[in-house]
Amino acid sequence: MLLWLTLATSCQFGKGASYTPSQPFRDYWYNGQAEISRYSLQQVQYGAQNPGEAVLIFVTEDFLTDKQVKLETEDNSGDATSVLKLNSIRRFVTGIYDYSLYSSVFTPVNTEKYPHSLKVTMSAQDWCGQTYTQLNRRGKGYEVMGRSYFEKNVEEDYSFNDAWLEDEIWTRLRFAPDQLPIGDTEAVPAAYAARLTGQPLEPQKAIGSMTAYEGTVFKGRALNVYSLLYPEHNRELRIVFEKAFPHEIAGWEETYTSRGKVLTTRAVRTSLIRSEYWKHNAPGDTTLRQQLGARGF
């Protein structure tokens, strides 16, 4: 049995910490499986909607709060807390070449002790080169490290005070959507969005809202829409998810200006499986990929 599963199931959440998640959360997220969803993607870039696909991988694991890495040895278990981790992958084609955007978000389950995510990483690859961004929560703020092939931001190191991270909206809504910011707030754009749209990766004025979904594009049971609007940058993210736990994500839309055109990215879920994917790495396990419907990965 994986160490993170042993610790999480016994509810050990760090030195001197005691926290018990709800039973539905324990039943769904502490059963040794990850949730993997595939989405058909139309991603805005270069003034056009570009075809691609996205995959969201949610799984719980124990996370060292000081080193901010996955716990892998029992000797360090006292410094660990249980997190819901999201690995999100977006791949799309722009003309002759393609993009790959990969983000990881580590959000503690114990939001009373850890009100914000501890770490976010993002890497972007295209035929021009690569960029990498990392945010680490230190004290009551974040340290940011960025490296890029672009001259203007080839090497960035700075910090900012606490604010909501757009990246953590995705994980928080999976177990506590009632805690998402509503009304005027400050939010930091997702690292991948900052890469595509040129928004500064720092706190900005934002407006959060929660409404019932009334459209027909996204499918699911009793869907809600969480929206995060950045009025000064004319960009809005809308995540459509099921109102009832475990709040599966049916898809999302993202509207912003690209080369003078206001366009909308859209991702629509096509499949969802639950799997111990780390155990399925043999050639014969490609049948699980067929079940998921993943093509470009």
Could you tell me the residue ranges of all domains in the chain? 3-284
CB atoms within 10 A of CB 74: 11
> What's the farthest any 2 CA atoms get from each other in the chain?
55
pLDDT of 6 over the 50 cut: no
pLDDT of 203 > 80? The answer is yes
Give the position of tokens 């757009």: 166
Distance (Å, whole) CA 121 – CA 144: 10
As a whole number of angstroms, the distance between CA 246 and CA 291 comes to 21
- What are the angstrom distances between the C-alpha of 254 and each of 39, 71, 105? 14, 34, 19
Counted residue by residue, the chain has a size of 297
Torsion sign (Cα): 268, 32, 87, 247: positive
Question: In 10 A of CB 58, how many CB atoms?
Answer: 24
> What is the phi-psi region of residue 187: left when phi exceeds 0, alpha when psi lies from -120 to 50, beta otherwise?
beta
Asked if 156 and 210 touch (Cβ cutoff 8 Å), the reply is no
For residue 227, pLDDT beyond 50: yes
Distance of alpha carbon 75 from the chain centroid: 29
pTM: 0.92
Q: Is the pLDDT of residue 94 over 60?
A: yes
- Token look-up 């799309």 returns 92
Q: What is the residue-averaged pLDDT of the chain?
A: 91
pLDDT at residue 16, as a whole number: 35
Looking at residue 12, what is its pLDDT?
A: 37
